[in-house]
């Protein structure tokens, strides 16, 4: 007979599905001294942050539009 914790650990719940910890960590993380820093990498991260922000705003807009 399997233990409940073993069965539960194999599945992803809603908490893990809607977890925004990684996204928030990407926006609000501190500077890492070991990470290389040049113009190309900084510009790539800025573009990624802009695109994720626009995507999240669009999702919020669609949810509000659908509800009202």
Residue 41: how many CA atoms within 13 Å on its side-chain side?
4
Band (18; pLDDT cuts 50, 70, 90) = low
Q: In the chain, how many domains are there?
A: 1
pTM of the model: 0.55
Q: Among 38, 56, 36, which Cα is nearest to 48's?
A: 56
Q: Where would I find the H helices in the chain?
A: 4-9, 14-17, 21-28, 39-67
Give ∠ CA 26-59-55 in degrees, rounded to 5.
45
Range of the domain at 28: 4-67
Q: How confident is the model at residue 65 (pLDDT cuts 50, 70, 90)?
A: very high
pLDDT in tens, 20-63: 777 777 777 777 778 777 899 889 988 998 998 999 999 999 99
């Amino acid at each position: 007979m399997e233990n409940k914790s073993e069965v539960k650990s194999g599945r992803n719940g809603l908490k893990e599905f809607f977890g925004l910890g990684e996204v928030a960590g990407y926006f609000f993380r501190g500077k890492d001294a070991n990470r290389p820093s040049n113009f190309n990498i900084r510009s790539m991260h800025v573009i990624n942050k802009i695109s994720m922000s626009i995507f999240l705003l669009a999702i919020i807009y669609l949810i509000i539009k659908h509800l009202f």
